[in-house]
Amino acid sequence: MRKLKLFIAALLVSASMAANADPITYEINRAIGTDGSITGYIQTDGTVGALSFENFLDWNLTIASPNLQGGTPQLLDISNSQLVYLTGAITSLVDIAFDFSGTDTGWAFLSDITGDAWCIRGVGVSCAGEPDPGEGLYFDLEDFGPAEFTAYSGLQVIATAVPEPGVLALLGIGLFGMGLARRRPRA
C-alpha cells in the first residue's frame, strides 16, 4: 500500500511538470532610462531554451515615456504591432532572459501605427543607429535615437513567468502525497 501511495504521489508531481508543455505567460514590468517603462505580458508556446519567432503566441505591452512620438502610454499588442526577432532570448519555466553580450542578438516590438518600439539588442545589432547593447524605447526605429535607453551586458532576466493555478495545485497535491507516503506508522 505504501508503494502505491508513493507511486501516485510521484505521478502527480510528474503530471504537474508535464503540464508546462502548455503556453507560458511571462510578466514584464521594467523601468527603462530615466522616465520610461514597459509593462504587460508575453506568451510563448511553452518552449524551454532558445526562442524563435514562431514561439511567440501573444503579447500585450504598454510602453510609456514622455518622449514617444505617438504619445504615452501606448499599447502594443498582436493586433497593432509586429515582432521583429533575431535571437538571444532564452526561456525557462520561470523566466525569459536575454544575452546582451551575444553577437547579432536582438528583438523589437514595433507599433504599426506610430513606429514607436521596445527594442532589446546585443552586440552588432542596431536600433535606430544606437550601437550599444541594451534596452530602449524608440520613437522611430529607422531614423531617430532612443526616447529612453538602459545599457546592459551579460545575461539579464527580462520577464518572469506567471504561475498557472492548476500546475501549482497539482504540484502541491503531489508533494503532500509524497509526504504522506513517507510517513511511517509508529509502534
- What are the pLDDT tens digits along the chain (187 aa)? 555 555 555 554 454 444 446 899 999 999 999 999 999 999 999 999 998 888 999 999 999 988 777 677 888 888 888 888 778 888 888 999 999 998 888 888 888 888 888 989 988 887 777 778 999 888 766 666 788 889 999 999 999 998 766 555 656 776 677 676 666 666 5
The CA-based diameter of the chain, rounded to the nearest angstrom, is 80
CA 137, CA 116: separation in Å to the nearest integer? 7
Whether residue 120 is found in the same domain as residue 43: yes
Whether residue 95 is found in the same domain as residue 173: no
Quote the distance between the C-alpha of residue 141 and its chain's center.
22
Whether residue 16 is found in the same domain as residue 60: no
Name the pTM for this structure: 0.74
Whether residue 168 is found in the same domain as residue 117: no
C-alpha cell at 74: 501606448
Whether residue 73 is found in the same domain as residue 57: yes
C-alpha cell at 71: 504619445
